[in-house]
Amino acid sequence: MSWPYEIRGAVPSDEDQLLEVAGHLNTVNLPNDRDEIRGILEQAHKSFTGAIKDPRRREYVFVLVDNERKRIVGTSMIIGQLGRRDAPYIYVDVSEEERYSATLDKHFRHVVLKIGYSYNGPTEIGGLIVSPDDRKKPERLGLLISYVRFLYIKLHRDLFKDELLAELLPPLEPDGTSHLWDALGRKFTDMTYAEADRLSKKNKEFIKGLFPEGAVYATLLPQNAQDVIGKVGAQTRGVEKMLRRVGFQYAWRVDPFDGGPHFTAPTDEVALVQRTHEARLARLLPASDVPRTRALVATERAEAPYFRCVHTPWRAGVEGGAELAAGAAEYLGLEEGAKVWVLPLE
C-alpha cells in the first residue's frame, strides 16, 4: 500500500538526499557538507535508538519523503538541549535605553546589545528546510515537516526541556553575508561569518573568550547592521507566523553571529503540543467515508526508521478512539486496536 508522503526518522542511508536538501539553505544545523551530514545522521540514529544515554545530547532528524518520486523533499530537527557546561547556549540580549537632555531638549532611544550565556538552556526546534519546488504544494509540506517535531516532543515529553526555542534567520545578502557580523563579530574574532558560524557548531569557546562582556550600543554600528537586529528574513517569515500562531513570542534575544531573532515558548503551552494525544485506532475508514478533517498520525517501531508519520483524513471516535483513512493505516502497518499518536490539524 502506498501513500503520497511520509515523515520518518532519518537513517544513515539518507546521506545523499539529505545533502541535496541541505544545499538549498546551508545552515549551521544542516550544512551543505557531506562529512557534517554524515555526522548529523549518525547522531540522529543514536538518538532515536537511545544509544546516546543523555537526552540533552540527542539530536533528532526527521525527513519528509515524496513516495511517488522516492525523494526526500524536506527535513526538520529537534536538539535535546542548548547549553551545557562544555557548550553553553550563547545569545545576545536586546534592550532599549532612553536618554534625554533638558539643556538641549534632545531625546534618544538606543538599542543595547549584551552577550549572555546559559548552561541549562531550552530544547531547540530547527533545521527546517523544504525543497523550493515543493514549498507551494497544496499539501502545505512545510507545515507538516515543521509540526511533526511538536508531536514527537509530546510523545516523549520527559526527554525535552520545559522551554522550546526557535532561531530564525535574519535578512542576509545573496552571498550569505551578515552585516551585523561584519560590523561587530568580525572585529573581535578576525573570522568571516561562515567560518565563525561553522566553528560554533563544534566549539563555542572562542565566543566567550573574544566577545566583549559589556554592553554595546547598536547606535555605533552602521545602519545596515542595525537594521537586521531581531528582524526575520524573507525566507523565514512563514515560520515566524506559524510560531506566533501556536504560542511562541520574540524573546528579545538574537543570534550573536547574524542578529536573527530567538522565539521561545513554554513547552506545555504550545498549542500543537497540547493538541497531540495518544489514541486507539478504533476504525479504518473506507474511501466512501473519508472526512475533511486531517491529522498527523504517528507510530513508533523497534527497527529503522523507528518513527513514522503520515498526513491523513481522520476523526475522533468514541472513548478517545481515532478513525483513520484505511489507506493511511495500512501504509503504517496498523490494524484496529493499535495505539497511535494524533496531532489534529483542523
Q: Which domains does the chain have, with CATH numbers?
A: 5-93+115-272 (3.40.630.30), 276-344 (2.40.40)
Above pLDDT 70, what percent of the chain?
99
CA distance 227 to 269: 32
- Residue range 326-342: mean pLDDT, rounded: 95
Grade residue 148 by pLDDT with cuts at 50, 70 and 90. very high
* Residue-wise burial string across 267-297, b where 16 or more C-beta atoms lie within 10 A, e elsewhere: beebebbebbbebebbbbbeeeebeeebbbb
pLDDT for residue 1: 61
For residue 40, the model assigns a pLDDT of 94
Nearby residues of 75 by Cβ (< 8 Å), 6 or more positions away: 10, 18, 21, 22, 30, 61, 62, 63, 64, 127, 128, 129, 145
34, 86 Cβ separation under 8 angstroms: no
**Distance from C-alpha of 281 to C-alpha of 166, rounded to nearest angstrom:** 33
Query: So what's the pLDDT on residue 28?
Result: 72
* Three-state DSSP class for residue 315: strand
Output phi, psi for 333, to 5 deg: 75, 35
Q: Whose CA is closest to 58, among 73, 72, 68, 48? A: 48
Look at residue 175 and tell me whether its pLDDT is greater than 80.
no
pLDDT band, residue 317 (cuts 50/70/90): confident
pLDDT at 172: 82
Cβ neighbourhood burial of 30 (10 Å; 0-12, 13-18, 19+):
buried
* CA pair distance 122, 287, nearest whole angstrom: 43
Give the mean model confidence (pLDDT) for residues 230-241. Answer: 90
The whole-angstrom separation of Cα 262 and Cα 319 is 40
Q: What is the mean pLDDT of residues 256-284?
A: 95
Mean pLDDT of 171-200: 87
Beta carbons within 8 Å of 187's beta carbon, 6+ residues apart = none
Per-residue model confidence as pLDDT tens digits over 7-62: 999 999 999 999 999 888 777 778 888 999 999 999 999 999 999 999 999 999 99
Q: Give the global pTM.
A: 0.93
**Contacts with 171 (C-beta within 8 Å, 6 or more apart), sequence order:** 227, 228, 231, 233, 234
